[in-house]
Amino acid sequence: MPLDSATVAALAEQLESCQLRARDTVKITDAHPGMTLADAYAVQDAILARKRDRGTRVVGWKAGLTSPGKMKQMGVSEPCFGFLVDEFVVPDGGDVPMADLIHPKVEPEICFVLKRALKGPGCHIGAVLAATDFVLPGIEVIDSRYRDFKFDLASVIADNTSAARFVVGGRAVAPDALDLRTIGVVLEKNGKPVAMGAGAAVLGHPAAAVAMLANHLGARGQELPAGALVLSGGVTEAVAVEAGDQVCLRVQGLGSVAVQFR
Ligand code: 0L1
Ligand code: MG
């Protein structure tokens, strides 16, 4: 049975409060086992509305759970989508205070910046590549608000797909200068490689994740505007970090981007 609007608002308040105070909670489907994915996106929308009411700006979108490694790691079977706001931005080489987060992990991402709007339905890899101004490397810092990162798909969607921080940097390159399926990524922690993979790990082609996101938004009467930044999903499993860790992502042809935790 769909959640009523008071319950959606209460769950948004609960999850956003956990994010802002760096406190965890049990997954919300424990109390609401009948929650649908539409309910989950309604909670996510309500979290965004709370942030917008405080003057927070949307600066991008993300696809999550887009690689077999991530789906297996988290025990779910389909991608999910979330928003990125200004409070999540970390400059390249910047610091992330651990006190602001619960149990962060990092993911290597191929990021797209659009020169033209993209609107589903019917969006496909070709449309994404034609609308992309450039791609660049990014590190997403995810921080599930759920205890021990234990959730199901509805719970994680409501929790804005664990979005917490992100950093983009490296070289911005037009997508036709690269083969995004075979592009190699190496994620290093404290100077040692800890995860590696190729772009094809993201739904066969990272642009496929952007197309899915555009189709998801299109079904809700929304679009990705010109200038949108999109994180297309972790190329590898996520890697846990702790205070003192330095993380560097190197992407073939796109240079590197870094972040540190203190
Ligand atoms: O960006 C992601 O792939 C994360 C999606 C949410 C699942 C998780 O917290 O690992
Ligand atoms: Mg991600």
Residue 111: its pLDDT value, please? 98
Domains of the chain: 5-261 (3.90.850.10)
User: For residue 68, what pLDDT is reported?
Assistant: 78
Is 236 near ligand 1, meaning CB less than 6 Å away?
A: no
The closest residue, in CA terms, to atom 3 on ligand 1 is 64
Q: pLDDT band at residue 189, thresholds of 50, 70 and 90?
A: very high
pLDDT of 164 strictly over 90 = yes
Backbone angles phi, psi at 196, to 5 degrees: -150, 155
Residue 30 has pLDDT above 70, yes or no: yes
Cα–Cα distance for residue pair 4/107, rounded to 1 Å: 34
Cα–Cα distance measured from residue 79 to residue 156, given in angstroms and rounded to the nearest whole number: 11
pLDDT of residue 74: 76
Whether the per-residue pLDDT at 70 is higher than 80: the answer is: no
Q: What is the mean pLDDT of the segment spanning 202-215? A: 98
Q: Which atom of ligand 1 is nearest to the CA of 159?
A: 6
Query: Mean pLDDT over residues 57-82, rounded?
Result: 89
pLDDT score recorded for residue 178: 96
Question: Of the residues 80, 109, 166, 231, which should be mutated to test ligand 1's pocket, given the most ligand atoms within 8 Å of the CB?
Answer: 80
Q: Are 188 and 94 in contact (CB under 8 A)?
A: no
pLDDT of res. 75: 80
- Closest atom of ligand 1 to CA, residue 140: 1
- Is residue 82 over pLDDT 80? yes
Verdict on whether the full-model pTM lies above 0.75: yes
Q: Average model confidence (pLDDT) for the chain?
A: 96
pLDDT digits (tens, 9 = 90+) for 87-127: 999 999 999 999 999 999 999 999 999 999 999 999 999 99
Using a 6 Å cutoff on CB, does residue 64 contact ligand 1? yes
The environment of the single-atom ion ligand 2, i.e. residues with CB closer than 5 A, is 64, 107, 140, 234
- Supply the pLDDT for residue 1: 56
3-state SS, residue 235:
coil
Residue to probe by mutation, ligand 1, list 19, 65, 153, 210, most atoms within 8 Å of CB:
65
Is 199 within 8 Å of 185 (Cβ atoms)? yes
Closest by CA to 234, choosing from 181, 189, 197, is: 197
User: Is the Cβ–Cβ distance between 188 and 248 less than 8 Å?
Assistant: yes
Residue 79 beta carbon below 6 angstroms from any ligand 1 atom? no
